[in-house]
Amino acid sequence: MNRVSVDTAGRPPSVDALARELSLRHSLPHALLVDFARRAIADMATTAPTSRVSVKEFADQLATEFSQSLLRDVINATGVLLHTNLGRAPMAMQTSNRASNLELDMSSGERGSRQSTVGKLLALLCGAESAIVVNNNAAAVLLVVAALANSRDVAVSRGESVEIGGNFRIPEVTEQSGARLVDVGTTNRTRLRDYKKAIDKRGNDIALVLKVHPSNYRVSGFVEDTPVRELATLSVPVAADIGSGLIDNTCPWLESRTPSWLSNEPAARQTIDDGAALVMFSGDKLFGGPQCGVIAGRADLIEACAQHPLARALRPGSTTMFAMQSLAISYLGRTATKDIAFWKMATIAIAELQSRAEKIITSAKTGEICTLDSVPGAGSAPGATIASIGIVLNGNYLSKLRMNDTPIIARVKDNKTFLDLRTIQPDDDAIVVQALQRLAE
């Protein structure tokens, strides 16, 4: 960042006067503008005389950079449906200023559980006896292991002892839970007999088998793993981290058959049908909801998790529970493609994308139509692609598109900028047109 220089009179300006001048260009709280003014004036005192940036320009730059860093809506034109940097599953926030019955039993008027109703809906969706919601899927795994295997052993295949985004490592989560990790099999091949050997080995006290979705990690070639239906024959319960939150691999909420890009993705209902005692998954991936984690399965094990001291630290708030309730009702009512933004994006027809692209280019008078491959993202269905249509511009316009009033996040390859229509909401096409017109000018 450039340094500021003293004004022509050699005196620093008034902090208040500079802050008031900033208020003419920035709709930020006065306290913030005062802070930027003070920082700019303090920096001026140590500036080399040769600097060409004035104290006013520097203060304005600080205010501008802060404004751009604030959380706000953006348009996802990357083609990554569940973009972690962009909040994963997009969803509208529906709240009011009223209180809610989050922990009020409406029948008795006494204190109730925030988990009861939403848990019943999610359990019904998953074909499970019970379910609860926590802050995220990492929290779900931590709580399950802490509640069911504290001071005991957890068996995990070496091929599933992974690290995913945010330095989330299975060995470290196991350690934090108070359990001991027992490695089973090898990195590329783990069979049922490897688990049996670990359970029967003298000195081991295995309370749980943990099967972990590898997310973006894949081993190919000479590989073998043990499916849940085989693990369920063991003498200890199986908890399956299925990761991305596909509820049912038959996708009964879709009018057409299950998309091919979901063919290898584990689903909650089928995993429980195969004998898993518990499943854990994210709410903000294929489920299409807010950041949270779901634990579903046997009622006695869910109750043990709910009664563990960590459960209170990991519980979500009313906004998350309202959203999960709404989403569960949409799935049960088979209106997901109408109500849930992720499934709208995932199922929009190529012909509709083509028509939108033609209208945008005609109106903006710039760009060309191109075929693209969208991806589910966020570790969901790794390696899978979804055919899409986009707009390509010659040159790198990432920075200029990010500076749009409503920032547009695109991608660049070979000095060409691509905007994928699958991840752009149709209501935002007019904003895209205006942004492209400005680029053309």
* DSSP conformation class of 434: H
Confidence of residue 217 (pLDDT cuts 50, 70, 90): low
Write the CA distances from 314 to 98, 133, 170, 306, integer angstroms. Answer: 24, 9, 18, 10
Please check whether residue 333 lies inside any domain of the structure. no
| Whether residue 291 sits in one domain with residue 191 | yes
Please check whether residue 327 lies inside any domain of the structure. no
pLDDT tens digits, one per residue of 268-304:
999 999 999 999 999 999 999 999 999 999 999 999 9
CB 14 within 8 A of CB 24: no
| Whether residue 212 sits in one domain with residue 141 | yes
| Whether residue 284 sits in one domain with residue 352 | no
Q: Is the pLDDT of residue 4 over 60?
A: no
Please check whether residue 109 lies inside any domain of the structure. no
Rounded to whole angstroms, how far apart are CA atoms 153 and 29?
53
**End-of-domain residue from the set 297, 316, 335:** 316
Report H helices in 203-308.
Answer: 228-231, 268-273, 299-307
Spatial neighbors of 70 by CB under 8 A, at least 6 apart, are none
Whichever domain contains 390, its CATH number is: 3.90.1150.180
Please check whether residue 64 lies inside any domain of the structure. yes
Would you give the end-to-end CA distance of the chain in angstroms? 29
Which range of residues forms the domain containing residue 55?
Answer: 20-69
| Whether residue 261 sits in one domain with residue 131 | yes
| Residue 171 pLDDT | 85
| Residue 275 pLDDT | 98
| Whether residue 186 sits in one domain with residue 309 | yes
Other CB atoms within 10 A of residue 321 CB: 22
| Whether residue 230 sits in one domain with residue 301 | yes
| pTM (two decimals) | 0.91
Other CB atoms within 10 A of residue 258 CB: 16
- As a whole number, mean pLDDT of residues 297-324 equals 96
Confidence of residue 173 (pLDDT cuts 50, 70, 90): confident
| Whether residue 257 sits in one domain with residue 189 | yes
| Whether residue 413 sits in one domain with residue 264 | no
CB 125 within 8 A of CB 194: no
Please check whether residue 221 lies inside any domain of the structure. yes
Backbone angles phi, psi at 435, to 5 degrees: -65, -40
Judged by average pLDDT, the poorest of 65-69, 165-169, 183-187 is: 165-169
- Which of the two residues, 292 and 221, has the higher pLDDT score? 292
| Whether residue 203 sits in one domain with residue 300 | yes
Please tell me whether residue 55 adopts helix, strand or coil conformation.
helix
| Residue 356 pLDDT | 98
pLDDT tens digits, one per residue of 19-40:
999 999 999 999 999 999 999 9
Q: Is the pLDDT of residue 405 over 60?
A: yes
Please check whether residue 144 lies inside any domain of the structure. yes
- As a whole number, mean pLDDT of residues 69-90 equals 95
| Whether residue 271 sits in one domain with residue 356 | no
| Residue 199 pLDDT | 95
User: What's the total number of domains in the chain?
Assistant: 3
Rounded to whole angstroms, how far apart are CA atoms 376 and 388?
12
- Which of the two residues, 31 and 6, has the higher pLDDT score? 31
| Whether residue 121 sits in one domain with residue 82 | no
65, containing H or E segment: helix 55-69
| Residue 1 pLDDT | 40
Whichever domain contains 227, its CATH number is: 3.40.640.10
Please check whether residue 5 lies inside any domain of the structure. no
Rounded to whole angstroms, how far apart are CA atoms 219 and 230?
21
Average predicted confidence (pLDDT) for the chain = 91
Please check whether residue 191 lies inside any domain of the structure. yes
Rounded to whole angstroms, how far apart are CA atoms 75 and 200?
54
Q: Is the pLDDT of residue 123 over 60?
A: yes
**End-of-domain residue from the set 6, 40, 69:** 69
| Whether residue 244 sits in one domain with residue 202 | yes
